[in-house]
Amino acid sequence: MIPNASPLIELAGVHKSYNLGMPNEAEVLHGVSFAIGRGEFVALIGPSGSGKSTLLNVVGLLERLTAGSYRIQGEETSGLDDAGLTLRRRAVLGFVFQFHHLLPAFSALENVTLPALMREGRVTPAQHERARAMLAAVGLENDMNKRPGELSGGMQQRVAIARALVLEPPLVLADEPTGNLDRASSDEVFVLMRRMHAELHTSFLVVTHDPRLAARCDRVIELVDGSIESDRSASAARA
């Protein structure tokens, strides 16, 4: 495990089970522990069914852990209620999903301003400018007013990245962000994420099946059958 002086997130002995107390109870994560520091770009890899998405949901505060400890910026999250989890999610995390998950009724620009609208009930001119700048940064300056249905898969994913980064959260969680794209678009999106990481110093935790992309991350965590099989730097993984 890579040591972190002041970890952004820290999981210790995290267990996650479904259907607790029922005959079909199943434990998906078995005592997972790791930490991510500020500015890290981490890949989470593993075979299908290894628990990657569940782990990402736990890290993203979308699902509660069954046992163990999960701290965000030093604060324990396991005792928080739904409102508390939502507010931490809003303040600390950005999401990029495999299927883009943009709101079809809103334009690209409106999708990017949604987090600000949600937080303050309005979008200030400065926030509007920031959203425009983010869309320009991901190469969509001419498509800001298009609805998601009018954009290609790669373009939609770029909108999703802009939305995840617009409020400059400390950590972006990306679940197979290139899984639904062709190779060219996939490379394009990954390069974009690396560029944004370099520019904004945002930490990334990227779930991917693609070993090529994992190799281009700073650190690779491999999950097998709900346990961490390895956690090493990408260069060590390549070796």
Partner 1 sequence: MLNWLGFERRVAVRFLREGRMQTVLIIVGVAAGVAVVAYISALITGLQRNTLEKTLGAQAHVTVSALDDVVLPARPPVAGSTALVQTQPRVQRPRSIANWQSLVPVLEAMPAVAAVSPMVSGAGLAQRGEASKSIALMGVDLDRYDRIVRLRSKVVQGEARLGPGEGIIGRELAEDLGVRVGDRISLVTGTITDSLRVTALVDLGVRELNRRTVIVPLRAAQSLVGLPGGATGLDLALVDVWVAQRLASDLSQRFPYKIESWQEANSQLVSALNAQSVSTALIRGVVMVVVVLGIASVLVVSVVQKQREIGILRAIGATRGQMLRVFLLQGAIVGALGSTLGVLLAVGLIKAFTTFVRGSDGLPLFAITLAPSLALTVAGIATVCGVLAAVAPARRAAALDPAQAIRM
Q: Is 70 in the site for partner 1 (CB under 8 A)?
A: no
- Residue 130 CB burial class (10 angstroms; 0-12, 13-18, ≥19): buried
Site string for partner 1, 141-170 (x = CB under 8 A): ----------------------x-------
Q: Is 218 in the site for partner 1 (CB under 8 A)?
A: no
Q: Is 30 in the site for partner 1 (CB under 8 A)?
A: no
Write down the least CB distance from residue 102 to partner 1, Å: 8
Q: Is 26 in the site for partner 1 (CB under 8 A)?
A: no
Write down the least CB distance from residue 133 to partner 1, Å: 19
| CB of 102 or CB of 193, closer to partner 1 | 102
| CB of 27 or CB of 63, closer to partner 1 | 63
How far apart (Å, rounded) are the C-alpha atoms in residues 38 and 7? 7
How far apart (Å, rounded) are the C-alpha atoms in residues 97 and 91? 18
Q: Which of 148, 95, 91, 97 is nearest to 116 (CA)?
A: 91
Sheet containing 26-36: which strands, arranged edge to edge? 26-36, 9-18, 67-72, 75-76
| CB of 70 or CB of 95, closer to partner 1 | 95
